[in-house]
Structure 1
Amino acid sequence: MEMNGWIIYNGYLRGSKFLDFAEWLQEAARQKEVTTSIWKNSELLAYLADQKPTLLHVNDHHLPEFVIFTDKDIYLANQLEQMGIRVYNSSDAIRVSDDKILTYQALSSQNLPIPKTVIAPKVFTNDTDVDYAVCQQAIHTLGLPLIMKEAFGSFGEQVYLVHTEVELEKKAKSLQGKAFIFQEFIVSSYGRDMRLHVVGDEVVAAMVRTASDDFRANVTAGGTMQAYQPTDKEIAIAVAATKAIGADFAGVDLLFGTDGNPIICEINSNAHIRNMFDCTKVNVADYIIDYIIDMQKGLFQ
Structure 2
Amino acid sequence: MKVWFITGAIVQGDSIERALESGRELLRKYNIEAEHFRRNDIDYTVSSDGEPSLYAKGERVSPPDRFIFYGAFDAVMEGIEEALVAMGSVSVNPIESKRIAGNKLKTAHFLSREKIPQAKVMPVFRSTPVDIIETEVGIPCVVKPAVGFGGKGVELIQSRVEAQAFLDELPEIMSDGVMIAQPYIESSKGRDLRVLMVGKKPYAAFVRQAGDPEEFRSNIHQGGHYEDFKLTDEVISLCERTAKAIDLNLCGLDLLFGEDGFIVGEVNDSPGLETLIKKVGFERFLKALLSA
1:143 aligns with 2:138: yes
Contact 2:105 2:121 (8 Å CA) reproduced = no
**Structure 1 gaps, min length 5:** 122-129, 296-301
Rounded to whole Å, the distance in 2 between the matches of 1:249 and 1:93 is 11
1:174 Cα shift?
2.7
Amino acid at match of 2:274: R
CA distance in 1, matches of 2:234, 2:200: 14
Identify which range, 87-96 or 264-273, moves more after superposition.
87-96
Give 1:185's aligned residue. 184
The answer for the alignment partner of 1:6 in structure 2 is: 4
Equivalent residue for 2:48? 50
- Name the aligned partner's letter for residue 43 of structure 2: L
Go from structure 1 to structure 2 and tell me whether the alpha carbon gap of 1:242 and 1:55 turns closer, same or farther (over 3 Å shift): farther
Is the counterpart of residue 77 in structure 1 residue 81 in structure 2? yes
Q: Give yes or no for contact 1:77–1:90 (8 Å, CA) kept in 2.
A: no
Asked if the contact 2:104/2:147 (under 8 Å) is kept, the reply is yes
AA at the equivalent of 2:251 = A
| 1:293 paired to 2:290 | yes
> How far off is 1:23 after superposition?
4.2
- The equivalent of 1:124 in structure 2 is none
Q: Do the aligned partners of 2:2 and 2:34 also contact (CA within 8 Å) in 1?
A: yes
Q: 1:163-178, aligned counterparts within 5 Å?
A: 163-176=158-171, 177=174, 178=177
- Choose which of 148, 154, 161 in structure 1 pairs with 2:149: 154
Distance 2:152 2:51 in 1: 35
Is the 1:255–1:265 contact (alpha carbons within 8 Å) kept by the matching residues of 2? yes
Q: Deviations over 1:133-168 (max 9, x none)?
A: 2x3211112221011121111111121110111101
Residue 228 to residue 173, structure 1, CA distance change in 2 (3 Å):
same
- Percent identity reads 25
- The residue number in structure 2 matching 1:282 is 279
How far apart are 1:132 and its partner, in Å?
Answer: 4.7
Preserved CA contact (<8 Å) 1:7 1:22: no
* CA gap 1:30/1:162 in 2 versus in 1, 3 angstroms: farther
Once the two structures are superposed, what CA deviation does each residue of 1:257-287 show, in whole Å capped at 9, x if it has no partner? Answer: 112x10100010001143466xxx5245432
Q: How many angstroms apart in 2 are the aligned matches of 1:38 and 1:30?
A: 16
SS at match of 1:152: coil
**TM-score, length basis structure 1:** 0.84
Q: Which residue of 1 aligns with 2:127?
A: 131
Runs of 5+ unmatched residues, structure 2: none
2:147 counterpart letter in structure 1: F
1:32-56 alpha-carbon deviations (Å, 9 max, x no partner): 3311222222122231233367344
Deviates more, 1:225-234 or 1:47-56: 47-56
Question: Aligned pairs, how many?
Answer: 277
Q: Secondary structure at the match of 2:279?
A: coil
Q: Which residue of 1 aligns with 2:262?
A: 262
Q: CA deviation at 1:205?
A: 1.1
**TM-score, length-normalised on structure 2?**
0.86
SS of 1:75's partner is helix
Task: Give the 3-state SS of the residue equivalent to 2:106 in structure 1.
Answer: helix
Q: Which amino acid aligns with 2:190?
A: G
Q: CA RMSD in A?
A: 2.3
Matching residue's letter, 1:83:
M
